[in-house]
Amino acid sequence: MKIFFTTVKFTLYILSIVIFSVILSQNSGQYVNIKILSRMYSQIDLLNVILITLTIGTVLGGVFIAFMVIQSRAEVKKLKSKNRQLLKELESLRNMSIDEIPDEGAHELPAPAIQNDDQQKTGITNA
């Protein structure tokens, strides 16, 4: 199965290179005028414009993805630390005997009333 995906990925790379080459070859020899902010560039080869734009987009995309990866790794590290802390707490609670567990906010429950057979059948209790 891995070989299949590798073959498909390789085929897509080759196909994209062929398509990109066809587009570039059709646009060679064409010249354009470009205005960036207030500066005018005239008679620039369209092939160069496409390649420069592609390069800038790739670099900016790579920087954006790098920041996302760094942020994700920091979050994973934080979550792993929290997970280790919770596992230690869980282990300490597992090893604790029932008598050692503190009663934080626990209230005494009333003892259940003992009912005789007649009261159990009718559902009436002595309150």
**The predicted structure's pLDDT at residue 111:** 57
Q: Residue range 98-113: average pLDDT? A: 61
Token pair 């597992």 is at which residue? 94
Token readout for 93 is 């609670």
Q: Coil, strand or helix: which one is 17?
A: helix
**The predicted structure's pLDDT at residue 82:** 96
Question: Rounded to whole angstroms, what are the CA distances from 46 to 1, 4, 26, 58, 71?
Answer: 42, 38, 10, 18, 37
47 or 64: whose pLDDT is higher? 64
Residue 44: CB atoms within 10 A of its CB come to 14
77-101: pLDDT as tens digits: 999 999 999 999 998 888 877 666 6
Token pair 């390649």 is at which residue? 51
**The predicted structure's pLDDT at residue 2:** 77
Is the pTM for the entire model greater than 0.85? Answer: no
